[in-house]
Amino acid sequence: MSITPRPPIPSFLPENAPFSPEQRAWLNGLFAGLYGLTEGVTPLSAQEVAQLVPGVALAPAADTDDDAPWHDPAMPLADRMKLAEGKPLPRRMMAAMAQQDCGQCGYNCKDYSASIFARTEERLNLCVPGGKETARMLKDLYRELDASAAAPPAEKKTLPAPAKPGYSRDNPVAATLVHRRRLNKEGSQKETWHVEIDLEGTELAYEVGDSLGIYPVNDPGLVDAVIAALGAPPDFPIGGRTLRETLSDSVSLSPAPDMLFQLISYLTGGDRRQKAKVLATGQDPDGDAATLDVLAALQKFPGIRPDPGAFVEALDPLQPRVYSISSSPKVNVGRVSLTVDAVRYEIDKRVRLGVASTFLASRVALGKKVRIYVQKAQHFALPRDPNKPVIMIGPGTGVAPFRAFLQERLATNAPGPNWLYFGHQRSDYDFFYEEELKAMRKTGHLTRLTLAWSRDGDEKIYVQHRMRDDGRDLWTWLERGAHIYVCGDALRMAKDVERALIGVVSEHGKRGPEDAARYVAELKKNDRYQVDVY
Ligand SMILES: Cc1cc2nc3c(=O)[nH]c(=O)nc-3n(C[C@H](O)[C@H](O)[C@H](O)COP(=O)(O)OP(=O)(O)OC[C@H]3O[C@@H](n4cnc5c(N)ncnc54)[C@H](O)[C@@H]3O)c2cc1C
Ligand SMILES: NC(=O)c1ccc[n+]([C@@H]2O[C@H](COP(=O)([O-])OP(=O)(O)OC[C@H]3O[C@@H](n4cnc5c(N)ncnc54)[C@H](OP(=O)(O)O)[C@@H]3O)[C@@H](O)[C@H]2O)c1
Q: For 354, phi and psi rounded to 5 degrees?
A: -65, 125
Give, for ligand 2, the residue of 360, 453, 489 to mutate: max count of ligand atoms closer than 8 Å to Cβ.
489
- Tell me: the pLDDT tens digits for 448-458? 999 999 999 99
Of the candidates 134, 116, 139, the one whose C-alpha atom is nearest the C-alpha of residue 76 is 134
Q: Inform me whether the pLDDT recorded for 520 exceeds 90.
A: yes
* Residue 456 to residues 42, 397, 435, 461, 494, Cα–Cα distance (Å): 48, 18, 20, 9, 22
- pLDDT > 80? residue 489: yes
Q: Which atom of ligand 2 is nearest to the CA of 430?
A: 43
**Nearest CA, atom 46, ligand 1:** 354
Mean pLDDT of 498-502: 97
Confidence label for 73 from pLDDT (cuts 50, 70 and 90): confident
**Confidence (pLDDT) at 512:** 96
pLDDT of 152 reads 61
Judged against a pLDDT cut of 80, whether residue 26 lies above it is answered with no
State the average pLDDT over residues 306-320. Answer: 96
CA-wise closest residue to 463 among 396, 531, 395, 405 = 395
192 lines ligand 1 (CB under 6 A): no
Q: Is 354 in the pocket of ligand 2 (CB under 6 A)?
A: no
The confidence score (pLDDT) of residue 145 equals 85
Q: Using 50, 70 and 90 to split pLDDT, how confident is the model at 100?
A: confident
Q: What is the mean pLDDT of residues 439-451?
A: 98
pLDDT over threshold 90, residue 474: yes
Is 29's pLDDT higher than 70?
no
Atom of ligand 2 nearest to the CA of 455: 40
User: CB neighbours (10 Å) of residue 345?
Assistant: 8
Q: Which of ligand 2's atoms lies nearest the C-alpha of 192?
A: 15
Considering every ligand atom, which ligand is closest to the CA of 424? 2
**Measured between alpha carbons, how far is 110 from 129 in angstroms, rounded to an integer?**
15
Percent of the chain scored above 90 by pLDDT? 78
Ligand 1: does its nearest atom lie under 6 Å from the Cβ of 397? yes
Q: Which residues contact 485 (CB under 8 A, 6 or more apart)?
A: 380, 390, 391, 392, 393, 394, 401, 402, 405, 529, 530, 531, 532
Give the E-state strand segments of 330-410 in sequence order: 335-341, 344-347, 350-353, 369-375, 390-393
Number of neighbours of residue 484 by Cβ within 10 angstroms: 24
Q: pLDDT band at residue 514, thresholds of 50, 70 and 90?
A: very high
Backbone phi, psi, residue 223, to 5°: -60, -45
How many percent of the chain have pLDDT more than 70? 85
Q: Indicate whether 67 pLDDT > 50.
A: yes
pLDDT at 106: 87
- 36: pLDDT confidence band, cut at 50, 70 and 90? very low
Distance 99 CA to ligand 1 centre (A): 15
Lowest average pLDDT, out of 116-125, 225-234, 438-447, goes to 116-125
Q: For position 68, what pLDDT does the model report? A: 80
Lowest-confidence range among 21-30, 232-241, 395-404? 21-30
Question: Ligand 1 centre and the CA of 340: distance in Å?
Answer: 9
Are β-strands 237-238 and 241-242 bridged in parallel, bridged antiparallel, or unpaired? antiparallel
Atom of ligand 1 nearest to the CA of 341: 11
For residues 451-475, average pLDDT: 98
Q: Say whether pLDDT at 382 is over 50.
A: yes
Higher-confidence position of 334 and 14: 334
Atom of ligand 1 nearest to the CA of 102: 53
pLDDT at 33: 40
Long-range pairs, 238-247, Cβ under 8 A, ≥24? 238/308, 238/309, 238/312, 243/308, 243/312, 246/312, 247/218, 247/223, 247/312
Higher-confidence position of 20 and 429: 429
Measured in Å, residue 396 CA sits from the centre of ligand 2 at 7
Taking residues 358-377, what's their average pLDDT? 97
pLDDT category at 102 given cuts 50, 70, 90 is confident
Residues 184-188 have a mean pLDDT of 97
Chain segment 401-413, per-residue pLDDT in tens: 999 999 999 999 9
Picking from 310, 317, 360, the residue whose alpha carbon sits closest to that of residue 340 is: 360
Binned at pLDDT 50, 70 and 90, residue 69 comes out as: confident
For the chain, the average pLDDT equals 88
Ligand 2 atom showing the smallest separation from residue 424 Cα = 43
236 CB within 6 A, ligand 1:
no
Q: What is the pLDDT of residues 419-428, one digit of tens each?
A: 999 999 999 9
Distance CA 324, CA 254 (A): 23
Question: Worst-scoring range by mean pLDDT, 40-54, 122-136, 214-228, 334-348?
Answer: 40-54
Q: How confident is the model at residue 3 (pLDDT cuts 50, 70, 90)?
A: very low
Instruction: Give the whole-angstrom CA distance, residue 287 versus residue 283.
Output: 9
Q: Check pLDDT > 90 for residue 59.
A: no
pLDDT at 56 over 60: no
What Rg, from alpha-carbon coordinates, does the chain have?
Answer: 25
Ligand that comes closest to the CA of residue 457: 2
Cα-based distances in Å from 97 to 81, 215, 357: 10, 21, 23
Kindly report the pTM of this predicted structure: 0.87
Map residue 317 onto helix, strand or coil: strand
Q: Exposure string (b/e) for 119-146, b if CB count within 10 Å is 16 or more? A: bbbeebbbbbebbbbbbbbbeebbeebe
